[in-house]
Amino acid sequence: MRINRSNPEPSGAQQPAVQPQTAAPQQPAPRREEPRQEPPKPKKEKPKKRPEPEEYEAYEEDEEEKPRRRFPVGCLIVLVILALVGFGGYKVSQFYAELDGQGTLGEVQTITVPEGSSVSSIATQLKDSGVIQYDWLFKQYVKYSGKAGEIQYGSFEVQSGMAYNEIIKALSVVTRRPTVNVTIPEGTTAVGVAQIFVDAGLVEDVDTFLSCANGTDGSDWSQYDFWNAIPDNGRLMKCEGYLFPDTYNLYA
């Protein structure tokens, strides 16, 4: 018979409860000190290259520029053309009114045309007298109308507001001033010449003629070379010997 040396617990007896063993608190592991490292130095950044001003401005303009309203150049050109056409039409109407006569006539004026006068000088004289307004227009009209040869010399009566054809007709009337022939015989003295002019009804008396011929009445003969060549030797009459004998046709 085998004896069980173990002390068996009686049946039905309660086994003592096993108390859980509490773990001992763990102590933190000693912190390992790492060698202190210096903070890295900040790297120097290279300055950014500034964009070129022109590119920057162009960029800004592209972003911020707003569409602008264009000026209607075509309308301006049309307005200028219309203004020029209107002004030209106005001037043409003025030219035509002067050519054809303005209807209202001014006061009668006497125009004296010297012999040998040109159309240009006559047109200037008419403009200065207020008969016409455009001397160049009158000159061109006379030239292209072929009436330049009809204009005479003498004194004529014209009025402002007359048509060009009427003015030319008035200037074409032959109005000759009466003339008288005077003959100075050779060897006649200055007093004798003066008497001839008095007898022809050209001078009132002898003294008037001699004072004019000697330049003592204020007449200036210095523009003539012969007068400046006369010697001043105290002669009684400076004109003595310089009133050349000949026959002269003079206005009465």
Residues 33-65: pLDDT tens digits? Answer: 556 666 666 666 666 666 555 554 544 555 555
Q: Which two tokens stand for residue 103?
A: 């209807």
CATH number of the structural domain spanning residue 159: 3.30.1490.480
* Distance from chain centroid for Cα 117: 34
Task: Write down which residue in 116, 148, 171 finishes a domain.
Answer: 171
Prediction pTM value: 0.41
Same domain, 199 and 243: yes
What tens digit of pLDDT does each residue of 149-201 get?
A: 888 888 899 988 888 889 999 998 876 678 899 999 999 999 999 999 999 99
Q: Could you give the CA distance from residue 212 to residue 193 in angstroms, rounded to a whole number?
A: 13
Is 26 inside any structural domain? no
DSSP label at 42?
P
Q: How far is CA 195 from CA 199, 202, 239, in A?
A: 6, 10, 15
Residue 13: pLDDT band (50, 70, 90) is very low
Residues 193, 143, single domain; the answer is no
Q: Is residue 95 part of a domain?
A: no
Distance CA 187, CA 180 (A): 22
**Does one domain contain both 183 and 158?**
no
Domain of residue 140: give its range: 105-171
Residue 72 lies inside a defined structural domain of this protein: no
